[in-house]
Amino acid sequence: MRRAVLFFLLVAVTAGLAQDRGLTLIVYNKNLALVKDVRSFDLAPGTSRIKIEDIPAQIEPASLHFASLTAPKQVRTVEQNFAYDLATPGSLLARYVGGTVTLQTKAGKAYSGTLVSASGKEVVLAGEGGGIKIVDRSSIQDIELPRLPEGVVTRPTLFWTVACDKPGKHRVEIDYLTAGVEWQAEYTAFINSKETGLELAAWAA
């Protein structure tokens, strides 16, 4: 019985963070954990947009839950979104369709034009005179984009749109399941000098 009690206490961990924030982590088997994250937000009357970036990448989006602890019945979730379309070369090009790009080939040739397509093995550009240039991806050395496309995130990000009937500072709890959390249990047994009793200690890491 004592082993079971020690095990539970060690796996359910509450982290010490800033005064206005609390984080509880409950680790399950099969590389899964439940995160309860309490934060403070200033909510305006009507609709507010909330953005959180310091989150794990392997969140289960369907498990997300957002609730105000200050006024649960006066804050409603209108929309929530987990953005994980990070700034990879493929995602950048996909978002830049319709914009101007410059290609530099391994042979030293440069092509500029409006990006028409970059989804296959070729990159298709439209020139100013209406001509089309099709360049094989394997021949491309560099691709130059004038700027970072709008809507691209550089790290996993959570977005909420909430409706608030009680403006002001709110303590909010955000719950979700995430993978990528591993733990290992260790046990130590202490036998008394008469070898008539045993004390078992356990911890998780």
- Would you give the end-to-end CA distance of the chain in angstroms? 21
Q: What Rg do the C-alpha atoms of the chain give, in angstroms?
A: 26
Q: How far apart are CA 199 and CA 132, in angstroms?
A: 78
Q: Give me the domains of the chain, ranges plus CATH numbers.
A: 2-84+153-204 (no CATH), 89-144 (2.30.30.100)
Exposed/middle/buried for residue 138 (C-beta within 10 Å: 0-12, 13-18, 19+)? exposed
pLDDT at position 30: 79
- 18-22, 43-47, 105-109, 157-161: range with lowest mean pLDDT: 18-22
Ordered strands of the 32-43 beta sheet? 12-15, 22-28, 32-43, 168-179, 65-68
H or E segment and range at residue 4: helix 2-11
pLDDT at 92 over 50: yes
Q: How far apart are CA 35 and CA 106, in angstroms?
A: 48
**Nearest partner of 23 among 159, 178, 183, 166, judged by Cα:** 178
Check if the beta carbon of residue 59 is closer than 8 Å to that of residue 176: yes
Confidence category of residue 95, pLDDT binned at 50, 70, 90: confident
Exposed/middle/buried for residue 109 (C-beta within 10 Å: 0-12, 13-18, 19+)? exposed
pLDDT at position 89: 79
Q: How far apart are CA 68 and CA 75, in angstroms?
A: 6
pLDDT at 93 over 90: no
Q: How far apart are CA 116 and CA 113, in angstroms?
A: 9
| Average pLDDT rounded to a whole number, residues 3-8 | 37
Exposed/middle/buried for residue 91 (C-beta within 10 Å: 0-12, 13-18, 19+)? middle
pLDDT at 165 over 80: yes
Local structure of residue 61 (DSSP, 8 states):
G
Q: What is the Cα 197 distance to its own chain's centre?
A: 49
Give the three-class secondary structure for 86: strand
pLDDT at position 159: 93
